[in-house]
Amino acid sequence: MIVRDTPRPLDLIFALRGSIVPAIAPRIAVLMLFAALMVAVQERFGFLPSVGGLAFTVFGIALSLFLGFRNNAAYERWWEARKLWGGLLADLRSFAREVDLFVTDPVLRAPMLRQALAFLHLHRANLRGLKDDPAARQLGGELADAAHPPDAALDALAAQLAAAQRGGAVDGFGMRALAERLGSMALQQAGCERIAVTPLPYVYSLLVYRTTYLFCLMLPLALIGPAGWLAPVFVGIVAYVFLGLAEVTEELSHPFGLTANGLPLDAICRQAEISFAPHLGEPAPEPLQPRDYFLS
Instruction: Tell whether 161 is covered by a domain.
Output: yes
Radius of gyration of the chain (CA): 26
- Domain range enclosing 237: 23-280
pLDDT score at 27: 93
Percent of residues in the chain assigned helix, strand, coil, to nearest 5 = 75, 0, 25
Asked whether residue 209 is assigned to any structural domain, the reply reads yes
- Work out how many domains the chain is built from and give that number: 1
Q: Which residue has the higher pLDDT, 37 or 48?
A: 37
Residue 74 CB contacts under 8 Å (≥ 6 apart), including other chains: 200, 249, 250, 252, 253
Please indicate, yes or no, if residue 35 is contained in any of the structural domains: yes
Lowest-pLDDT range of 35-39, 47-51, 112-116: 47-51
How far apart CA 82 and CA 181 sit, in angstroms, is 19
Vertex 133 angle, CA 279 and 252, to 5°: 95
Is residue 9 situated within a structural domain?
no
pTM for the full predicted model: 0.89
Contact 35, 232 (CB under 8 A): yes
Q: What are the CA-CA distances from residue 254 to residues 82, 86, 198, 200, 234 (Å)?
A: 12, 17, 10, 9, 31
Residue 2 maps to a domain:
no
* Under 8 Å between Cβ of 88 and 68: no
The 8-class DSSP code of residue 79 comes to: H
Mean pLDDT, to the nearest integer, of 83-104? 95
* Within-domain flag for 5: no
Is 285 contained in some domain? no
Name the least confident of 91-95, 140-144, 206-210, 290-294: 290-294
Angle in degrees, CA 125, 113, 166, rounded to 5 = 120
Separation between Cα atoms, residue 262 and residue 241, nearest integer Å: 21
Q: What is the mean pLDDT of residues 8-21?
A: 67
- Are the beta carbons of 1 and 294 closer than 8 angstroms? yes
For the segment 155-171, the average pLDDT, to the nearest whole number, is: 93
Say if residues 112 and 103 touch (Cβ distance below 8 Å): yes
pLDDT averaged over every residue in the chain: 88
206: Cβ contacts below 8 Å, ≥ 6 apart: none
CB-based contact 27:236 (threshold 8 Å): no
Contact between residue 1 and residue 263 where contact means Cβ atoms under 8 Å apart: yes
Contact 244, 208 (CB under 8 A): no
Report the alpha-carbon distance of residue 182 to residue 87 in Å, rounded: 12
Q: DSSP state, 46?
A: -
